[in-house]
Structure 1
């Protein structure tokens, strides 16, 4: 019996992940590592944060414990020279870049009249500029890969006025990431690179959730980051042409691979639906 796509070996494939020291980025890194990948993590967290677990160095230790090879690059995805260092590290250490995961992201959801301009700039710089910089730097190497993917953690474009009006600046930054991915899918259609987006159906139990008011209660109604790691691995195991230009929801990806019992990921019977994801009609 052949293995499912999500169990495909990633041996000799090199993954570069932005913002991978914790949360969803780390879950994706570990899912790749368990399948034998080389993983380069670009993150700012060199020293422990008082409110956030882990550093880029502890994340690399987890990657290696999971069965992969890891390299840490302390840097800022907003800075062209730091992004270049991450890509150069992947090439020098492991011989190339096969997969880019644009995970680094900033969020601020205050109403427009109360949103600080520096927070607006931060979201645009990390979410949109960072996605552009890392992908641009990796493209010459992705072209040479036999199985190239760029996976961006961004939602399907949902023009429901509810989401457009909920937090327009954050929405703009995340939809900007999606539009870049969809645009690259067209621009590089002949390059055999799979540009795709992935977004969670529900809240994910990361520090971004647990640090909110009522964070413990919210975390109990959130799924584990592992669901995003497993969904990402399933996408990255597929041929580039099959995923190019697509935007995925994590539970849908797993369902396509025959995984419909999601209880292992927690969240209870009614996990909180994530932003940008409409509730099914009649619910």
Structure 2
């Protein structure tokens, strides 16, 4: 299978950034996209809403269903999944992309921020997967993709932001555990992480210029497409890196993904040289 035509993807955090890029790549195949995100009204700090994303998806050739979903809210998640199934007839793929970040030392992480990261990153991933499970079980080629890193217990990944690292590694542990649990059902559960930093609005909102040293979200979208078009029983429980996935698929030129042509992109967290 090399196309997602006719497949239904439930993508959390799909109103912007990597989530939207994955949605647009699938839309070019003619996929159905559930845009499950919190932003329904424009935010001057962060461009994009579920409605603008839906319009872009449909312009790209897909079908879109924009739904306001806070992945921390169990009832909102269940209601969104039910609406998606009623609208498109099922769910083939879940992309757990929604995530919260707060890179700070222990003394500088407010309880509210700690809870936000754990609730969105870990609980949200679990609740969305649980809600979609009955429909993934019926899908022809079911996939769950979690946007989380390979687990490396080197102290350097904890010393400056232990809370965030624990939340992201917990997503990865969840992916590994669910992959083992769902293997008999033929549902693939894999994790995907960028080799380099990705230029997203999350970087821009902090006034950071790091995005200029990174790659566009398209590289993650293309890597996700490779993974999600594979037979689900062929690979599960894997921690994929975007560049590696694409190299194995035959891509050799990564310059088009650069935000700033001619630069050497900066490695992301949890990736060693």
Normalising by structure 2, report the TM-score: 0.97
Q: Distance in 2 between matches of 1:62 and 1:21?
A: 10
Give the match for residue 11 of structure 2. 17
* Structure 1 outlier segments of 4+, above 2 Å: none
Number of aligned positions between the proteins: 271
In structure 2, how many angstroms separate the alpha carbons of the residues matched to 1:42 and 1:183?
24
| 1:194 paired residue number | 188
Counterpart of 1:84 (choices 60, 78, 84) is: 78
Matches within 5 A, 1:91-102: 91-102=85-96
Shift of residue 14, structure 1, vs aligned partner: 0.3
* Residue 108 of structure 1 pairs with residue 97 of structure 2: no
Cα pair 1:41 1:86 within 8 Å, conserved: no
Note the 1:56-205 alignment, pairs <5 A.
56-205=50-199
Q: CA deviation at 1:9?
A: 1.8
- CA-CA distance at 1:18 after TM superposition: 0.5
Unaligned runs of 5+ in 1: none
Would the aligned equivalents of 2:223 and 2:243 in 1 still touch at CA under 8 Å?
Answer: yes
* Distance in 2 of aligned mates of 1:106 and 1:218: 18
The aligned counterpart of 1:223 is 215
In the alignment, is the contact (CA less than 8 A) between 1:16 and 1:39 conserved in 2? yes
The corresponding residue for 1:45 is 39
1:246 paired residue number:
238
* Alpha-carbon distance between aligned partners in 2 of 1:262 and 1:164, rounded to the nearest angstrom: 30
Q: Is the Cα contact below 8 Å between 1:73 and 1:85 reproduced in 2?
A: no
The structural deviation recorded for 1:65 is 0.6
Offset of 1:28 from its aligned partner? Answer: 0.5
Secondary structure, aligned partner of 2:183 = coil
Residues 1:30 and 2:24 aligned together:
yes
**Per-residue displacement from partner, 1:160-204 (whole Å, max 9, x unpaired)?**
111122311101100111001100111111000010000001110
Aligned residue number for residue 248 of structure 2: 256
Q: Please tell me whether residue 272 in structure 1 is matched to residue 273 in structure 2.
A: no
Give how far 1:258 is off.
Answer: 0.3
Q: Secondary structure at the match of 1:165?
A: coil
Question: For the residues of structure 2 that align with 1:144 and 1:72, how far apart are their CA atoms?
Answer: 23
Distance 1:120 1:220 in 2: 28
Tell me the distance in 2 between the aligned counterparts of 1:166 and 1:185.
30
Separation (CA, whole Å) in 2 of partners of 1:86 and 1:70: 13
Task: State the alpha-carbon separation in 2 of the partners of residues 62 and 226 from structure 1.
Answer: 15
Q: CA RMSD in A?
A: 1.0
Q: Specify every segment of 5 or more residues in structure 2 that has no aligned partner in the other structure, as ranges.
A: none
